[in-house]
Amino acid sequence: MRTFQKSRSLDNVRYDVRGVLAAEAERLSLEGNKIIKLNIGNPAPFGFCAPDTVISDMLENLRSAEGYTDSKGLMSARCAIVEYCRGKNIPVAGPEDVITGNGVSELIAMSMHALLNSGDEVLVPSPDYPLWTAAVSLSGGKAVHYVCDEQSEWNPDTADIKKKITPRTKAIVIINPNNPTGALYPDSVLSEIADIARSSDLIVFSDEIYDRIVMDGLSHTSIAALAPDLFTVTMNGLSKSHNIAGFRCGWMTLSGNKAQASGYIEGLELMASMRLCANVPAQLVVASALKSEPDVSVMPGGRLCLQRDFAYSALNRIPGVSAVKPKAGLYIFPKLDAARFGITDDERFALDFLREKHVLIVHGTGFHWSAPDHFRVVYLPCIEDLGTALGRLEEFLSEYRQ
């Protein structure tokens, strides 16, 4: 009998955030076990609600969302995005340089499909948000991972970036603020990356979905603002900042030397047309959302800030665990003393912890980190649940040897 296998194009693709561990957690849940989920940045289930204005805007205008929009998106949404970008000194000329998407995830895939030919290389951070590596691979390209340095607060190692460039390198991806580390890149590092991209004629893809989830009185700088001459594709959206992940509302903006990338832009517009348009009800809320007040949960004393502080302190109190304090985003990326615990397989470690203590985390190699000595924790749950989960981790590690 003929059998059907998955495409070979998926051989180098992984998305462990929703992979084997999540499936095992579901199985345990069906058996009646309560699982504390620290694996996914989905604010709504943890009580982070969308602003009332966002919900009312969608409900009041839903009748006008019954048809397709322009393939790039509603003009009102795109104009609001241009205004937001200009407020951050991102040199977007106008709404013609904005393409809306069903979340940034769709746009990542579109951006790679429109660019890459077989064997083309894209520089991607390690650790990364794994969809970037997957999108490069599925588009026929090769993801080349450059190191983010834990000893330098997880900032990109620009010397390593330079070493990884070859004649086949077409682009560099930066994720700032970073998922999974919570790093917020300083202007000096961004300027170094811009210089590298400029000297090597690279496109810059900047994933900035967490740019409004920044703590400790810090602020986010977009690389497009520092390098207005570089052709830059900046990704952003409302999923995390406005707690509407399920609405699927994202966008990409094009800035810099568009003449250099005219053929690529034609490809992006073709990709946008092929999927007709992005989710129209979500586009209806963009204008009001981008004018809303900052999220108080990231302010000192705010809920997310307090949970970040708690997770950071609790993790660093566990013998054999250390963590760099995140400055932004929803995640922390602790380090395990792999020798102390005999860990050679970090996915097995995460599975063992899940099965014994019913806490779901994601292992570090799932983010293309090369060594089996890290894991990601989402600090969206309330402090009581975080305390329970991290207390169980301490108990587990006190006896664990792989």
- Per-residue pLDDT tens over the stretch 198-248: 999 999 999 999 999 999 999 999 999 999 999 999 999 999 998 888 889
Judge contact between 171 and 205, C-beta under 8 A.
Answer: yes
* Residues 43, 56 share a domain: no
- Which range (285-289, 323-327, 334-338) has the least confidence? 285-289
Same domain as 157, residue 127? yes
At 50 the pLDDT is 87
| pLDDT single digits (tens) 73-86 | 999 999 999 999 99
Which CA distances in Å does 395 have to 233, 251, 345, 391? 45, 43, 20, 6
- Mean pLDDT across 40-57: 89
Domain of 269: which CATH number? 3.40.640.10
Check pLDDT > 90 for residue 65: no
pLDDT 10s digits, 88-120: 999 999 999 999 999 999 999 999 999 999 999
CA torsion angle 131 132 136 139 (round to 10): 50
Share of the chain above pLDDT 70, in %: 100
CA 232 to chain centre: 17
Q: Are residues 57 and 44 in the same domain?
A: no
Q: Which of 290, 310, 329 is the last residue of a domain?
A: 290
CB within 8 Å of 234: residues ≥ 6 apart: 85, 90, 206, 208, 222, 223, 224, 252, 253, 255
Same domain, 110 and 33: no
Q: Are residues 164 and 270 in the same domain?
A: yes
- The beta-carbon contacts of 386-389 under 8 Å, at least 24 apart in sequence, are 386/38, 386/307, 386/310, 386/311, 386/314, 387/310, 387/314, 388/36, 389/36, 389/38, 389/359
Same domain? For 34 and 175 the reply is no
Tell me the backbone φ, ψ of residue 33, rounded to 5 degrees: -85, 140
Report the interhelical angle of 262-274 vs 103-113 (nearest 10°): 130
* Backbone dihedral region for residue 119 (phi beyond 0: left; psi -120 to 50: alpha; all else: beta): left
Which residue segment(s) compose the domain that 130 sits in?
52-290
Which residues make Cβ contacts (< 8 Å) with residue 137, sequence separation at least 6? 9, 11, 12, 13, 143
Same domain as 328, residue 264: no
Asked whether residue 84 falls in the same domain as residue 139, the answer is yes
Residue 1 lies in a domain: no
Domain final residue pick, 290, 319, 347: 290
Whether 146 and 69 map to the same domain: the answer is yes
What is the structure's pLDDT at 387? 97
Residue 63: per-residue pLDDT: 86
Residues 20 and 56 in one domain: no
Same domain, 270 and 301: no
Q: Answer with the one of 267, 290, 313 that is the final residue of a domain.
A: 290
Q: Which pTM value belongs to this model? A: 0.93
343 has a pLDDT exceeding 80: yes
